[in-house]
């Protein structure tokens, strides 16, 4: 029965995500709100709320490793999807058409991942009131990120697009419905996970919760790419990854026993390291400005997809 309800709410989440991306795309093109704000904060924040609820619930259930696996697995899956769709949409060559707005997000992500990795390797083992140094840095950098986001709409080609009536209200209602659907989706995934206790909490978080709660970001990214809104798509996906790390820092604060990073296992450490590599490769992809040959262009995405499939199909089987 859990599997049936899982499928029902998975499809509902997909549908609501498509509607949400359409509204956000229309809002970005017909309002004075910056696309960076819409993609990096509004859309990224709404689609990442399932991770917030799941992550918090994991801490309350005294299973912090599940929380870590959820966030890190979700971020890893997000970058994998961008690479996979880059291969599928090869004719668009979209990563050469994105602007510099995303560079700040990528750089903050790289710094955050490096700090977390160095902390778990005990290179910078600093804690304050049982809160790890990575949490403090993540929070500071996230506020800097919000402060530096463009406040005005970027210059762009004028298009004849009719605003959707009551778009802000529809965006709010759709967001609430998507959050509710994602919460129920996560609940049934948790029930399925409980019936398979042989898996480690980190693996369950990364595979079941991480991938499942990433469905909103994945579908939103796909929809925005299909309608040629490359900047909003990328800002949504990398903004969601940054928001996910902010969620992890919140989990560290409410997990009072010790810094949450201290309980990470080998599998989850590997997921963290792969996430760092993926973000660096993705960043390199999106700073290219020349339209190079398709063969050379697609290599970074092939590397990401291959490493991801190898990690799950070979590393855990």
Q: How does pLDDT run along the chain (317 residues), one tens digit per residue?
A: 777 887 788 778 778 777 776 776 676 666 655 555 555 556 666 666 667 777 877 787 777 887 888 889 889 999 998 899 888 887 777 666 676 767 888 999 999 999 999 998 888 878 887 788 999 999 999 888 888 766 544 444 444 456 677 777 887 888 788 778 777 776 777 677 667 665 555 666 566 667 776 777 777 788 778 877 777 778 778 888 888 899 899 989 988 788 888 888 888 888 899 999 999 998 888 776 665 677 778 888 999 999 999 887 765 55
The answer to whether residues 34 and 152 touch, using CB atoms and an 8 Å cutoff, is: yes
For 164, which DSSP code? P
CA distance 235 to 44: 8
Dig out the tokens for 63 from the structure: 């299973």
Neighbours of 213 (CB within 10 A): 31
CB 145 within 8 A of CB 104: yes
R_g over Cα of the chain: 19
Q: What does the DSSP assignment read for 23-71?
A: HHHHHHHHSSS-HHHIIIIIIHHHHTHHHHHHHHHHHHTT-HHHHHHHH
Cβ–Cβ < 8 Å for 220, 47: yes
Structure tokens at 258: 């010790």
Q: Looking at the DSSP assignment, which residues form a beta bridge with residue 131?
A: 128
Q: pTM of the full predicted structure?
A: 0.77
Burial of 3 (0-12, 13-18, 19+ CB in 10 A): exposed
Here the tokens at position 169 are 């209200």
Count of C-beta atoms within a 10 Å radius of residue 147: 8
Whole-number Å distance between alpha carbons of 263 and 272: 13
Which residues does 230 contact at the CB level (< 8 Å), separation at least 6?
A: 92, 94, 95, 97, 98, 224
In a 13 Å sphere around the CA of 244, the CA atoms on its Cβ side amount to: 32
């Amino acid at each position: 029965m859990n599997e049936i309800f899982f499928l029902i709410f998975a499809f509902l989440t997909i549908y609501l995500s498509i509607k949400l991306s359409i509204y956000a795309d229309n809002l970005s093109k017909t309002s004075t709100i910056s696309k960076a704000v819409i993609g990096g904060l509004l859309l990224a924040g709404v689609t990442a709320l399932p991770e917030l609820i799941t992550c918090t619930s994991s801490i309350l259930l005294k299973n912090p490793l599940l929380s870590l696996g959820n966030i890190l697995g979700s971020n890893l899956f997000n970058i994998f999807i961008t690479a996979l769709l880059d291969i599928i949409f090869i004719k668009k060559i979209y990563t050469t058409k994105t602007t510099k707005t995303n560079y700040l997000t990528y750089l903050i992500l790289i710094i955050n991942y490096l700090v977390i990795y160095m902390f778990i390797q005990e290179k910078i083992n600093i804690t304050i009131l049982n809160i790890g140094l990575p949490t403090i840095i993540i929070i500071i950098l996230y506020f800097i990120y919000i402060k530096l986001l463009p406040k005005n709409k970027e210059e762009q080609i004028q298009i004849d697009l009719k605003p959707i009536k009551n778009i802000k209200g529809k965006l709010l209602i759709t967001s609430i419905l998507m959050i509710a659907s994602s919460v129920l989706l996560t609940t049934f995934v948790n029930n399925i996970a409980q019936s398979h206790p042989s898996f480690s909490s980190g693996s369950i978080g990364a595979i079941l919760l991480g991938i499942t709660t990433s469905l909103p970001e994945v579908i939103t990214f796909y929809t925005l790419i299909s309608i040629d809104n490359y900047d909003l798509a990328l800002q949504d996906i990398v903004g969601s990854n940054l928001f996910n790390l902010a969620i992890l820092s919140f989990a560290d604060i409410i997990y009072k026993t010790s810094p949450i990073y201290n309980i990470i296992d080998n599998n989850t450490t590997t997921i963290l390291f792969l996430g760092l590599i993926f973000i660096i490769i993705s960043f390199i992809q999106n700073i290219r400005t020349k339209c190079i040959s398709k063969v050379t262009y697609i290599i970074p995405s092939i590397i990401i997809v291959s490493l991801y499939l190898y990690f799950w199909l070979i590393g855990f089987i």
